[in-house]
């Protein structure tokens, strides 16, 4: 699933340790672990303190016993609530944070980091563990002194979620597909307001308009 993306790069010079160069505030979603609840697919819930790690695209939490647990992308997790924030696990792809609950369509995003050696995207270590050759693990890359120039890419992908909790790329064509009866109105709004689908504030505007247009037809 391809989504609209926002990118930030960190330059790691030879001899530097990536984990020491990347600002700590940019490594995790929150500055500290926060109270939350995980709901599993079987209906079981468990409370703890949670934080999302961008470096490894993992959700970490501290359970009642004080153990730090990693919730991986293939764990049987349905949702995680951290304070007022809500996350969904898209199986095999990672955690998606719900940004707005404006239905019949909502805005969400997924955030992660990946390493590009020498500044070239042909040799990449990514949070999804898809790479060329046999590189060291991500933890080895981030915690050891670099032998080469590298870039760490932090990206935020924006996604639409429909009323059936299905996820779609945040694209104009998706709005037309989901709401064909409102295609003309949506198109005019996008044109008149110069909506940039790489801008989350613009995405919020267009989904609010879409929700209002749909509600006017089906109050």
- Would you kindly state where each structural domain of the chain is located, as residue ranges? 4-170, 172-219
Length of the chain counted residue by residue:
219
**pLDDT confidence tier of residue 94, bands split at 50, 70 and 90:** confident
**Tens-digit pLDDT profile for residues 16-73:** 999 999 999 999 999 999 999 999 989 999 899 999 999 988 899 998 888 888 886 6
Token pair belonging to 41: 């697919």
Which of 118-122, 153-157, 205-209 is modeled with the greatest confidence? 205-209
Structure-derived torsion over alpha carbons of residues 30, 35, 37, 38, reported in degrees to the nearest 10: 40
Mean pLDDT of 181-204: 94
In the prediction, which pLDDT does 129 show?
A: 41
**pLDDT confidence tier of residue 91, bands split at 50, 70 and 90:** confident
Spatial separation of the C-alpha atoms in residues 95 and 113, rounded to whole Å: 13
Closest-CA residue to 66 (of 44, 48, 50, 45): 48
Rg (CA), the chain: 19
Spatial separation of the C-alpha atoms in residues 186 and 198, rounded to whole Å: 17
Spatial separation of the C-alpha atoms in residues 50 and 83, rounded to whole Å: 10
Indicate yes or no: pTM above 0.85. Answer: no
pLDDT at 126 over 80: no
In the prediction, which pLDDT does 122 show?
A: 38
């Amino acid at each position: 699933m391809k989504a609209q993306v926002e990118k930030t790069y960190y330059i790691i010079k030879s001899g530097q340790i990536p984990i020491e160069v990347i600002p700590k505030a940019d490594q995790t979603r929150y500055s500290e672990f926060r109270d939350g609840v995980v709901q599993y697919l079987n209906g079981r819930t468990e409370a703890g303190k949670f934080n999302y790690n961008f470096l490894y695209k993992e959700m970490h939490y501290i359970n009642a016993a004080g153990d730090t647990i990693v919730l991986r992308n293939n764990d049987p997790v349905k949702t995680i609530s951290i304070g007022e924030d809500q996350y969904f696990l898209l199986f095999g792809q990672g955690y998606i944070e719900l940004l707005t609950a404006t239905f019949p369509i909502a805005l969400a995003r997924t955030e992660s980091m990946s390493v590009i050696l020498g500044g070239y995207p042909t040799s990449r270590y990514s949070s999804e563990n898809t790479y060329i050759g046999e590189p060291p693990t991500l933890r080895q890359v981030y915690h050891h002194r670099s032998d080469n120039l590298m870039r760490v890419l932090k990206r935020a992908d924006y996604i639409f979620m429909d009323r059936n909790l299905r996820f779609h790329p945040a694209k104009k064509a998706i709005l037309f597909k989901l709401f064909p009866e409102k295609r003309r109105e949506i198109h005019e709004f996008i044109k008149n307001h110069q909506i940039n689908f790489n801008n989350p504030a613009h995405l919020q505007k267009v989904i609010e308009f879409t929700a209002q247009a749909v509600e006017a037809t089906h109050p």
